[in-house]
Structure 1
Amino acid sequence: MAVREALVIGTSSYEDTRLNRLRSPGLDAMELSGVLSDPAIGGYAVRPVIDQSAHVVQREIERFFRARRPDDQLLLYLSCHGIKDARLQLYFAASDTDRDLLDSTSVPAAFVNGQLTRCASRKILVLLDCCYSGAFRPGGAKSADTAVHLLEEFKDTGVAVITATDALQQAWEGDGPVTDTGLGGLSVFTASAVEGLRSGRADRDGDGWVSVEDLYGHVREDMLARDARQNPLRWILGGQGTLKIARSAAGGVSDRPLPLPRSLPALGGLGTALLAGITPAASVLRRTLGPVPRPVLLTGKDGMPYAGTDTREIVAALPTEPGYAATGTGILRGLVAEQYRVSRDGTATAAVVFESVLRGLQPALARGTDPIVLARALPPLITVLEGRLGRFNELLRQETSGRLTAALTAVCADEEIGDTVGRALLRTGTEGAVTVTESVGFGLTLAVCDGHSMAAGYLSPYFTTDEENEEAVLRGAKVLLCAEPLTGVRDVLPALELVAQAGRSVLVVAPEVGGELLTVLAEHARRGTLAPVAVPLPHPLLADLSAFTGAFVFASAADIRACEPGHLGHARRVVSTRSRTVLTGGAGRAAATVKVGEIAVGGMREDEVRRRTALVRRTVHTGQDALTYGLLPGGALALAAIGPGLGPMGVPAEQDVAEALGRALAEPLLALARNRGEPDPEGVLRRVRAEWPEVVYHAVSGSFHPYQRAGVWASTATTWRMLHAVEAAVLEYLSVI
C-alpha cells in the first residue's frame, strides 16, 4: 500500500560562530509540519528533524528515501543556512557544520541528489528554503535560466524541486535575510507556501487540489507581490501526469488580500511561552542535585521503568510541550549538552541556574525592557563572577597525592574510583593521558604504558565509535603518514586497500586531510566497511609519530601509490577526540613521549558497568582540571557565596540582570539542602554566605566543617564553564524573544 510521508528538517542553531543563529527554521518546520499532517490538507505522516548534527540529518534523509515503492508519495523540506564552497558546490548546514570542513560536517547537495536518484518512488517533491538553493540540480536536470520559472509540466510521476532562491540570492526571513539577526517570524518562502496550503489560495485552478504547478505559481506570485527580492525556481526530473500535493483547504482561491508572514507573539507572551518549556524540566532536574539526589523515574529502551539521575537522560526523556515552549526546551537541552561536552559535570546545576535567571528577568521583560539591553549587561557580570571565584581557587600540586585522591573521592563519592583515578593521574603526569574503557571483568583495573600524544583530534564526527563520549577508538590500527596535504582518493587507494585486505582500522595523518578523501573516509566509517580516523598534524611533528609507530613518512600523495605493507605503521590502540589523539603500543623503536593510563571498568551487570564507566570518565576529567586549574571548596557553595553584591549598576536594566543572577546562583545550594531534607534551607544559605570558604556545608551529614577536613570539593574549571554555558543560553533566549 502506497504511503504519504514528509521529512521536515529545520536547523536554527549552529556550533560554528561564523554561522549566525536563525530565527525562522524552527518555526518554519513547526508550521509546515502542521499543515502537511492535517488530514484535511496534506494528510502526510510527518517526521520533523530539528537542530541535529550532519550525520543525523544525512542518516534521516537516507532512511527516508530507502526501501520505497514507486507509488509512495514523498516530500522533503530543508530550512537552514545554504553554503557554497570555492567550487560553487552547494551544502546544507547542520548544527555541527564547520565552514572549513563542509564535506564531512554538512549535508552536501550531491548527497541529497544521490538519494533522490536511487529512490524507487516516482512521486517526490523537494522544498528548499535556504540561501543559494537554486544551485541545487536534481540528477539529470539541466541548468535553468533564472528568468524562466516554468520548465515543463510536472506529470503524475517524477521528481520536482522548488527552491526559495536562484543560485546567487539569499533567502529572507521576516524583516531581514537569514544571515541577519534582526526581527523575523517565518521565512518569506515558507510563509507563502504555508499560507497558500492553509487558506486554499494555492489551488490556482480551483479543482480542489494543490498540484506542484499550483504551489509553485502561488509562491512565486506571492513573493513578487511582497517584493521579497527572491526568485524561486522549479526543477523537474522525469515528470509525467499531475502530482497532487494537498487538498484545497478553502475549495479554491479566495478574494482576501495576501497576508504577511505570521508574526511572533508580543514580547512578554513569547518570553513566557519559551519559559513554559524550560521551567518544568528545570524543576525535575532540581531533584538530582547534590550528593543525596532524588532519582527520577524513567523508561528504558526495553520499556521497563528505572530510577535515574543522569541529567542528559532525564532531559531527553521529558515530553516536549507544543508550540513555542518546544523552542525553550530545545535551548535547555542544548545547554545540558554543551555543559556535558566541555566538563562532563555540572549539567543539572547549569539548568537550574539558567531557569532561575530567566524567572528573575520576567518582571523586567513585562515592564517592556528591551531584551538586547538585558543581554548587554550579562557578560560583564560573568567576568566579575569569574574574578571572585579565582580568589578562592585552591591549586593542587601533583606531588600532593593524598589531597588529590581525597578530593577526587569527594567529587565522585566512590572511594575505589577516587583512588584509582588519583593513582592514574599521578603516574601519567600532567603531560600524560588517561583513557577509560569497559571490560568484561570485575571492578577497576589500572595499567600504565608508554604512549604518544598529539594535540590534534579527528576531522569528522563520522569517525566516532563512541558518540556519547565523542571518541574514536581504533584497535590494532595501521598508521599512514604523509608530509603533504591529502585531498584526493586515487593516490591513497593502494594503502586503503592494504588496510581493508588485512581487516584492520587505519589512522591517516597529514598536515591536511580533506576534499574527496575525507568524504570517502567518512562514508566508509558511516557504512562500517572500514574503520578510519583522519587527524591533521604539522609536518615537523610527523617524525616523532613515525618513530613511535614505525610508519614511513611519504613525501607526497603520489608516493603513496607505491605503498607496501611495511610502509604502514602500527598502534595497539588509538583514542581520538575533537582535540587530542593518544596512541599506545606503537611498533616503532623510539621511546614514548608520554605515559598513558588505561582504566578498565567491569561489573556484574551492563547497566552497572555503563554507570560506573561514565562516573570514572567524569572523575578523570575533574582530576585533570584540578591539576591544571585547581579546586573550589564546594561548587554550589561557591556559587551561592559569590552571587550577592553584584550591583549597584548604572542602568536599571543592568541592576535587573545583577539581581536575577545573584538570586539564581543560590538556587543550586537551596535545591541541594532541600534534597537532603534540611528543615531550613534558607538558614543554610545564610550561613554559607557568612562563613564560606573557611567553613563549608557537608550535605551528606548536614553539618558544617572547616574546609580543610570537610572533603567537599568541586572543579574550578567546571564552575567557570558552567557560568559561560549559562551565559550563552540566556543570551540565546533573549535573542529569540
Structure 2
Amino acid sequence: MDGIGGGLTDRSPYHITRRRLRSAILTNGPDSVHVARHQGHLTNVCLKSKNRKSETLNPSEDAHRTYWVLRVSKVRLLPAHRRLFCSLLDPTMYRVVASLASKARVTGGNSSRQIGSRLGWSRNYAAKDIRFGVDARALMLKGVEDLADAVKVTMGPKGRNVVIEQSFGAPKVTKDGVTVAKSIEFKDKIKNVGASLVKQVANATNDVAGDGTTCATILTRAIFAEGCKSVAAGMNAMDLRRGITMAVDAVVTNLKARAKLISTSEEIAQVGTISANGEREIGELIAKAMEKVGREGVITVSDGKTLCDELEVVEGMKLDRGYISPYFITDHKNQKCELEDPLILIHEKKISNINAVVKVLELALKKQKPLLIVAEDVESDALATLILNKIRAGIKVCAVKAPGFGENRKASLHDLATLTGGSVITEELGMNLEKVELEMLGACKKVTISKDDTVILHGLGDKQAIEERSQQIRSAIELSTSDYDKEKLQERLAKLSGGVAVLKIGGASELEVGEKKDRVTDALNATKAAVEEGIVPGGGVALLYASKDLDKLQTANFDQKIGVQIIQNALKSPVHTIASNAGAEGAVVVGKLLEQDNVDLGYDAAKGDYVDMVKAGIIDPLKVIRTALVDAARQRFFIVDYYGSCSRRTTKG
C-alpha cells in the first residue's frame, strides 16, 4: 500500500500532479488517502482519519465516491484508469462527477505541509455570471443611464466640467464627453456591459468625426431606453430594427439636403467657437491656422509656455503611418516617440537583415544623434536589433513604415528625401544599405511618432530643391485627368509645401491647460469636419426638425412604426439636454420649437433666447451630428436582439 505523502510515482496507476499533494483533501473528510495497487491495477482506496474509523473504498462497489475522492485529491488519472471509471459509471453520472470534482479547489497550506491538514471544496476557476431576460436588460439599462448622466452635464455652452481622479498626478478636469465616458467603471459587471457598449459608440464617433461624443452618448441612451420598453412590450425585434434603419436613413438624407458648405474664415471661426463651448478666441485661432497652412494642411495641438494661446507655423510633413513597435516609445504617458535632431534613413524596400542596419546605427552612434528609419517595412532580425539597441544601449531609434502603395509610395519617399535633404536608398540605382554614407541620410529639427502617424518638423532640405519639387507636383496636377491621381497629388503638395501649424495652448496651471487642450482638439476636429461636409443649424435643432419629417414615413407594419418613433423621440434629446443644462425646462423648449415652421430657429442656451441659429453663428458640422446619429443607431442590435449577458463572476476568499 502506497501513501499519498510518498511512494506514488509517475509509474503508479495513479500519481500526484505535483511531487506532493498540497494539504490534504476534503472539508470534514479524511486526513490522508492511500491507494492500493496490485500488478498495476487499482484494488482499493483507503481513507484514514485521526478522529474517525478508517474507511476503504472499492472502485467496483462505490465508483462514484472513489472517483470523486481521487479527482478532488488532485490525483491525475491515466487514460487507462479514466476508461475504467467510464465503464463503472454511467455516462451521465461520469460527466456530473467529473464536472463537480473539477470545480473543487485546494484551499489550505503549502505543498510541504504534513498530511493531516484539511482542504476546501471549491476550485478557483473563472466562473461566469449569466443573466437572462428582463433582469439582465434592466441592469444594462442602469449602466447606460448612469454613464449618460455623467456625460450629459458637459453638453452645451452652460455645461459643467467633470473632475476625474487619475492613478498618477493631479485630477483631470474636462468637458470632453469621450474622456468622461472612458473614465467610468462600475462594480456591477452587468452594468459595466451596458456602459461599455455606450463607450464603443462614443469612441467610434470620436474616431470618425473627432467631436460629437456627448451627442452620440445622449442619443444612444434615448434609443436604448425606448428600445427596452418596446421589447418588454412584446414588439417584434426584426421589425423594430427595420423601423430604426428606415428612420436613420431618412434623417441623414434630410440633413444632407439642408447642409451648407463653408468658404470663409468667419464661418470656420464660428464652427470652432461653438465646439469650444463658446470661446471665441479658440475659434479665431483655428481659423488663422487654416488660413496659414490651407484646409488640407496639418494642424497640431501642444502645451504652451505662456499664459496666452499662440499659433506657430513650421515647415513639416505628416506621414499616415506610426511606429512599427511600441518598444520605440519615449513618452509613455502620451504613447509617443519624440526624436530631437534625428538622422533619417529612407529606404524603398523591406529591411530584414541585421547587417543592413548595423552601418546606419554606427553612424547615428558616432554623431550622437537619434535615428529614424522609413522603409517599406522593418522586420525579423533587423527589427530585433533596433529594439535591443533602444532598450539596452539607450540609443534613440524608431522605425516607421513608408506611407502609400506602389508608385505613390515611391513618390512620397522622394518628397520626404527632398524635404529632409537626404536620398532614397534604392537598389535600382545600385545603392546598398551596408555601404550607406552620412550624406545619404536626411535630417530635421524634430520628429513626433504616434501609433497612427508621424510628423516631421523643420526639414533641413534645400529650399530651392523643395520649391522645384513642389512645382513638379503642381504641373502633374494640371496634366492629370484622373480624379484619384489629382487627389493624391494634392495631398503630397500639402504635405511638402503647406507646412504644419502648431497651436500652443497656454494657461496658469497644468489642469487649465489640459482642460483647454481637450476643447481645442474637439473644436479643431469639428472645424475639419465642417470644411469636409458642410454645416447645419446648431444647438441640436437640425436633428429636432428632421424628426418632424418622420411622421410622413411609410412603414410595413405597426412594429416598424414603433422603430421610427424610437428615433423620432431620441432626436429631441440633444435640444432637451442643452436647455436643461442652461437652467431652462427642456420639454418646454422642445415643444415651442416644434410648434413653429422656421427650421433655422433655435434656443440660444448662452443667452436664454430664441434666435436664428445660422445668423447667430450657432452652427454644427454635418459630419459630426450625422456620425453621432448613425453610430448611436448602429448599436440597435444589442437593444432589440439582446436577451442574455455573460460576465466574469467575482469570487472571494
TM-score where L is the length of structure 2: 0.69
Question: Identical aligned pairs, as a percentage?
Answer: 21
Cross-structure match for 1:730? 636
Deviations 1:549-584 (A, max 9, x none): 122222259922233333321122334556654322
Cross-structure match for 2:139? 273
- The correspondence of residues 101-112 of structure 1 with structure 2, limited to 5 A, is none
TM-score where L is the length of structure 1: 0.62
Alpha-carbon contact 1:635-1:715 (below 8 Å) kept: no
Deviations 1:499-555 (A, max 9, x none): 456554433222334455556667877898635241333223211111111222222
Correspondence for 1:611 among 515, 525, 539: 515
Alpha-carbon contact 1:374-1:654 (below 8 Å) kept: yes
Return the offset for 1:410.
Answer: 3.1
Cross-structure match for 1:411? 275
Alignment CA distance shift 1:452-1:281 (3 Å): closer
- RMSD between aligned alpha carbons? 4.3
Return the offset for 1:728.
Answer: 3.4
- The correspondence of residues 451-470 of structure 1 with structure 2, limited to 5 A, is 451-459=316-324
- The correspondence of residues 40-439 of structure 1 with structure 2, limited to 5 A, is 153-155=17-19, 206=69, 211=74, 213=76, 250=121, 264-296=130-162, 298-299=164-165, 301=167, 308-369=174-235, 371=237, 374-375=240-241, 377-397=243-263, 400-412=264-276, 413-439=278-304
Return the offset for 1:650.
Answer: 1.3
Cross-structure match for 1:109? none
Correspondence for 1:700 among 606, 612, 636: 606
Q: Aligned to 1:705, what secondary structure does the other structure show?
A: strand
Whichever structure has more helix as a proportion of its residues is 2
Once structures 1 and 2 are overlaid, which stretch shifts more, 647-656 or 632-641? 647-656
Q: Does 1:677 align with 2:583?
A: yes
Deviations 1:234-278 (A, max 9, x none): xxxxxx9899xxx965489xxxxxxxx979433333322321211
Once structures 1 and 2 are overlaid, which stretch shifts more, 560-569 or 655-664? 560-569
Q: Does 1:709 align with 2:615?
A: yes
In 2, Cα distance between the equivalents of 1:434 and 1:508? Answer: 24
Q: Does 1:539 align with 2:539?
A: no
Aligned AA for 1:407? V
Alignment CA distance shift 1:205-1:317 (3 Å): same
Q: Does 1:441 align with 2:441?
A: no
Runs of 5+ consecutive residues of structure 1 not aligned to the other structure: 1-149, 158-200, 227-231, 233-239, 253-260
Aligned residue-pair number: 523
Return the offset for 1:281.
Answer: 1.3
Q: Aligned to 1:275, what secondary structure does the other structure show?
A: helix
- The correspondence of residues 614-633 of structure 1 with structure 2, limited to 5 A, is 614-633=518-537
Aligned AA for 2:282? I
Q: Does 1:509 align with 2:382?
A: no
Return the offset for 1:619.
Answer: 1.9
Return the offset for 1:297.
Answer: 5.2
Return the offset for 1:462.
Answer: 5.9
Return the offset for 1:673.
Answer: 0.6
Aligned AA for 2:299? V
Once structures 1 and 2 are overlaid, which stretch shifts more, 580-589 or 698-707? 580-589
In 2, Cα distance between the equivalents of 1:632 and 1:728? Answer: 22
Aligned AA for 2:199? R
Alignment CA distance shift 1:297-1:512 (3 Å): closer
In 1, Cα distance between the equivalents of 2:383 and 2:635? Answer: 33
Alpha-carbon contact 1:459-1:536 (below 8 Å) kept: no
Alignment CA distance shift 1:542-1:328 (3 Å): same
Aligned AA for 1:511? E
Aligned AA for 2:342? A
Correspondence for 1:664 among 570, 594, 604: 570
In 1, Cα distance between the equivalents of 2:328 and 2:352? Answer: 17
Aligned AA for 1:724? V
Aligned AA for 1:265? R
Return the offset for 1:386.
Answer: 1.6
Q: Does 1:494 align with 2:359?
A: yes
Bigger relative contact order, structure 1 or 2, given CA contacts below 8 A and separation 6+?
Answer: 2
Runs of 5+ consecutive residues of structure 2 not aligned to the other structure: 1-13, 22-63, 97-101, 103-109, 404-408, 467-495, 644-653
Alignment CA distance shift 1:727-1:716 (3 Å): same
In 2, Cα distance between the equivalents of 1:687 and 1:606? Answer: 41
Return the offset for 1:624.
Answer: 1.9
Aligned AA for 1:571? C
Return the offset for 1:295.
Answer: 3.6
Q: Does 1:648 align with 2:554?
A: yes
Q: Aligned to 2:432, what secondary structure does the other structure show?
A: helix
Return the offset for 1:396.
Answer: 0.8
